[in-house]
Amino acid sequence: MGKKTFWNNKWVVGIGSAILASIMLDSFNVTDIWVRIWGIFVFIWNFLLQRIETPLWILIILPFAGIGILLLILWMKSLNVADNDEPAFFDYREDTFDDKLYRWEYRLYGDKYIISNIIPHCTKCKCRLSGSYCPNCKISSQGFEMSDDEIQSLIIHRIENLESK
């Protein structure tokens, strides 16, 4: 590839014709937006038609750099999620109330979290109970009398105490 002079460079010619087009439009007081858009299109086309000398190592490194940047963005996003989206109590998903083991989930409701899906579990093997019966231990646990509402109150109470410490 031969050396390019400044004026032979298609990029320069592209910029030149785009500028020239807008100067001409201004001097004739033409406000036709499509002519300007066409000028920009021609400029972009000329820009894309440019041939450049690229060392091979850049072409080899470029995809890796792209992947690296992508991974960096994903990593930063995951940090963001951990820092901002998940509250401190998010890992607190099981506890024992009244010698009974309960597990639950948090759901985002508007801009607040609500406690949902409170499920009693076997205190011995942590198997999910069917009613008050553990299908794994094959024994019935006595009395899960507390309502979901009461358990929710206890969970919130413990979260608040955890956070105030």
Chain residues binding Zn ion by CB under 5 A are 122, 124-125, 127, 134, 136-137
Tokens for 65, please give them. 């750099």
Q: Smallest gap, in angstroms, from Cβ of residue 122 to Zn ion?
A: 3
Phi, psi of 101 (to 5 degrees): -90, 125
**125 close to 137: Cβ distance less than 8 angstroms:** yes
Q: Locate the DSSP E strands across 37-99.
A: 94-97
Q: Smallest gap, in angstroms, from Cβ of residue 129 to Zn ion?
A: 8
Q: Looking at beta carbons only, is 107 or 124 nearer to Zn ion?
A: 124
Q: Looking at beta carbons only, is 128 or 157 nearer to Zn ion?
A: 128
For Zn ion, which residue has the nearest CB?
122
Strands 139-140 and 133-134: antiparallel
Q: Looking at beta carbons only, is 8 or 130 nearer to Zn ion?
A: 130
- Residues 83 and 150: their CA atoms lie apart, in Å, by 30
Tokens for 64, please give them. 């890796």
Q: Smallest gap, in angstroms, from Cβ of residue 70 to Zn ion?
A: 46
Q: Looking at beta carbons only, is 130 or 136 nearer to Zn ion?
A: 136
Q: How far is Cα of residue 115 from the mean position of the Cα atoms in its chain?
A: 24
Q: Smallest gap, in angstroms, from Cβ of residue 92 to Zn ion?
A: 22
